[in-house]
Every structure is written in structure tokens, then in C-alpha cells.
Amino acid sequence: MIIVHAPSRRDVKGTRFILKAVNELRSEGYNFEFRLVEKVSRDKALKLIKEADVVIDQLIIGWYGMVTIEAMSAGKPVICYISQDLLEKYKPPIIPADKHTIKRTLKDVLDRKYNLKEIGIKAREYYNKVHSPRKVCDRWCRIYSSI
């Protein structure tokens, strides 16, 4: 299994908690590939996201960023911390985790307790419904035409 984390800022994304969980799981005998994607071109980052089985966005902020949107567009499941109010309002197909639960969540992913294929399909559907260029353009056009 390939797990990718591409932080724009390690402190904001909770990278230290992810690295700690990865190291602990490896020491417990879990076998997986972890790719920390930093200081590469956007094209290279997208290629690595497309090769991933699961992508970790962030564990601190409470909403997702561009890494999640890029992963969803590629049909990849994402682990991310979404605050409860936003999770209830928007219902993104995200595997929930925060800095306290990331190890347990990764363990569950590695133990195949999530159907990653199904989550990836739902992620792509969500992307098409919410984040595709056509949807975003339509929203902005409605906003500007109402001014």
C-alpha cells in the first residue's frame, strides 16, 4: 500500500503526528510505502498522488485543502480532519482523523477496515459535483452576474 502526504506547511498540516504514526506502525511490523511529497513540481506531486492508495491531507485545520481536491479528482481516498459542523453540512467522503487518532486510522486503513475503492469512487463523484472546473465556474458566474 502506498500512503502519500504532501504538506504545504508541516506545522499546519500536522506532519509530525503523521510521521510519528508511520514510524510507530512500521515498528509494529506494518509493511507499507509512505511518501512525503515536498519540494517537487506540481506535476510530480500530482503523479505521486495518482500512484497513492490513500492520501493524507491535514490533521489540524478542520477543513481540507488543495491536496484533497487533487486527490478527489484522481479518485483517491483522503484522510483528513474535518470539523464536525463542516462535516455535517457538506458531508465530504473523507476518512476522518486528527492528530490524536491518525495512528488508529492508518492502522484501520492498513488492516483493510475501509473500502478504499468505494471511498475513491465517492471522492471522484464529490469532486465532480462540488469542485470540477465547470461547477466552480458556474458558481462564480452566478455570483458575478448578481452584482
Place 136 in a pLDDT band, splitting at 50, 70 and 90.
Answer: low
Q: What is the pLDDT of residues 68-106, one digit of tens each?
A: 999 999 999 999 999 999 999 999 999 999 999 999 999
C-alpha–C-alpha distance, residues 138 and 82, integer Å: 26
Q: In the chain, at which residue ranges do the beta strands (DSSP E only) sit?
A: 2-5, 33-36, 54-56, 78-80, 95-96
pTM to 2 decimal places = 0.91
| The domain over range 2-145 is classified in CATH as 3.40.80.10 | no
Give the helix/strand (H/E) hosting 35: strand 33-36
Q: Residue 75: left if φ>0, alpha if ψ -120 to 50, beta else—which one?
A: left
* Greatest Cα-to-Cα distance within the chain, rounded to the nearest angstrom: 59
